[in-house]
């Protein structure tokens, strides 16, 4: 039983590069209110195998899985089980460096690893099946350096790598390759693939070092959305994360060009950048993960804290590490974001493990008392007189 939840854990036939003008968001006129967040933490002391949490997923059984640079971790709400590389074993992980996690319709997990290709964790046998690059086999993976995975409605595994885009058929183990070809506007924009996202219309968006792409199954080709930012219109935007919000707008996190909003109906892009002279601007131009939670709040993971987007002001509130507050984030470099089925927000960091926060706490008010600043609050209760008591 979880401690913090209620469960155990067709397109036009014309293809061309789309050049779209980009506008910058106006500086926020009103700085949004900062409501405090009190985090609990999952760290090395709790059994986490390593402090850099690259990806987080809750599976169909309720277990929380955390991918790190040194092993895969399964958390049941009380304890952690590690999965690490097993030298000499064909049924173990080939690499401890796990970038991404996805679950298929059978409840098995698929892992993208750095140097070990793709691994499938078979739930029934609690063992791994490996899919690796083989120079002698053209139908094997193009590379063992896998950054991201996506499982489509047919059960095919889309594999984003530093050397191309592959589609793996689990039933045969055979792989189909998609590569960038100079002069071919229908090929993928770059062989460096870092993000997948499928929207409510079933369209597959792909983030690369050559910008934003969309795959069209009818023509079996790619459409590139050419985002040229005014500060350097000759340079490609390196996409690291993609998410859509409840209004259907696409948000794009980049390696060093901030956050970009794409209005799919109008074709307009808006750029949000860090500006040290403007309070309420994005805290960093390096955006690695995005999440819209069940209350339609947009969270942005940057290398300088967790940002919350404020739609009214078009600005951001930053949450980061406070050395005087043990319930703040343990590290400012945020790598991953996830909301579990109990509503809890999980924040994976580079050097501080994973922190988690329950949004229900905001419904209780957000007064910060000096008496409870350094106290970890576990439960709340209200008396008949209306007094709110905190158990710590």
Rounded CA gap, 249 and 239, in Å?
Answer: 16
Residue 164 resides in a domain = no
Contact 324, 337 (CB under 8 A): no
Q: What is the pLDDT of residue 365?
A: 62
For residues 175 and 140, is the Cβ–Cβ distance under 8 A? yes
| 354 falls within a domain | yes
The answer to whether the beta carbons of residues 154 and 165 sit under 8 Å apart is no
Domain count, the chain: 1
Which CATH number does the domain housing residue 284 bear?
2.130.10.10
In a domain, 167, yes or no: no
Averages of pLDDT over runs of 10 residues in the chain (392 residues) are 41 39 68 87 97 98 98 97 88 95 98 97 97 96 97 97 96 96 96 97 97 96 91 90 97 97 93 95 98 97 98 96 96 98 98 97 63 46 42 46
Label residue 136 left, alpha or beta by phi (over 0 means left) and psi (-120 to 50 means alpha).
Answer: alpha
Residue 51 lies in a domain: yes
- Domain-located, residue 227: yes
pLDDT at site 33: 78
Work out the angle at residue 289's Cα, subtended by the Cα atoms of residues 288 and 295, and round it to the nearest 5 degrees. Answer: 155
* pLDDT, tens digit (0-9, with 9 covering 90-100), for 218-269: 999 999 998 988 888 888 999 999 999 999 999 999 999 999 999 998 999 9
Give a yes or no: residue 96 inside a domain: no
pLDDT of 165: 98
pLDDT at position 172 is 95
Cα distance between residue 101 and residue 119, in whole Å: 10
**Boundaries of domain holding 207:** 18-84+179-391
Report the candidate in 280, 241, 246, 245 with the shortest Cα–Cα distance to residue 257: 241
- Does residue 42 lie within any of the structural domains? yes
pLDDT at residue 26, as a whole number: 66
């Amino acid at each position: 039983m979880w401690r913090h939840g209620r469960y155990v854990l067709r397109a036009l036939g014309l293809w061309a590069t789309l050049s779209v003008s980009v506008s910058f968001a106006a500086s926020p006129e009103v700085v949004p209110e900062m409501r405090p967040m009190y985090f609990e933490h999952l760290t090395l002391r709790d059994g986490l195998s390593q402090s850099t949490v690259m990806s987080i997923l809750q599976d169909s059984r309720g277990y929380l899985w955390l991918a790190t640079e040194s092993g895969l971790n399964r958390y049941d709400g009380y304890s952690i089980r590690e999965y690490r590389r097993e030298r000499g074993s064909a049924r173990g992980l080939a690499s401890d460096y796990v970038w991404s996690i996805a679950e298929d319709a059978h409840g098995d997990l698929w892992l993208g690893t750095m140097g070990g290709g793709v691994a499938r964790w078979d739930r029934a046998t609690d063992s791994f099946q490996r899919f690796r690059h083989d120079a002698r086999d053209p139908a094997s993976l193009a590379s063992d350096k896998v950054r991201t995975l996506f499982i489509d409605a047919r059960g095919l595994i889309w594999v984003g790598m530093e050397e191309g885009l592959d589609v793996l058929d689990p039933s045969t183990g055979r792989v189909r390759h998609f590569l960038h070809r100079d002069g071919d506007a229908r090929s993928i924009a770059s062989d460096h693939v870092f993000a997948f996202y499928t929207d409510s219309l079933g369209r597959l968006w792909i983030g690369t070092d050559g910008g934003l792409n969309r795959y069209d199954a009818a023509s079996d080709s790619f459409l590139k959305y050419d985002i040229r930012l005014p500060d350097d219109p000759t340079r490609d935007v390196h996409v690291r994360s993609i998410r859509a919000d409840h209004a259907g707008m696409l948000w794009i996190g980049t390696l060093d060009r901030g956050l970009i909003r794409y209005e799919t109906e109008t074709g307009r892009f808006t750029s949000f950048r860090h500006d040290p002279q403007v309070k309420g601007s994005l805290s960093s131009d390096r955006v690695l993960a995005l999440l819209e939670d069940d209350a339609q709040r947009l969270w942005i993971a940057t290398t300088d804290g967790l940002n919350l987007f404020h739609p009214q002001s078009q600005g951001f509130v930053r949450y980061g590490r406070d050395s005087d507050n043990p319930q703040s984030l343990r590290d400012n470099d945020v790598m991953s974001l996830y909301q579990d089925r109990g509503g809890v927000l999980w924040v994976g960091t580079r050097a501080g493990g994973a922190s988690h926060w329950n949004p229900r706490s905001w419904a209780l008010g957000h007064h910060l008392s000096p008496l409870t600043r350094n106290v970890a609050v576990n439960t709340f209760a209200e008396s008949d007189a209306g007094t709110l008591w905190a158990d710590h």
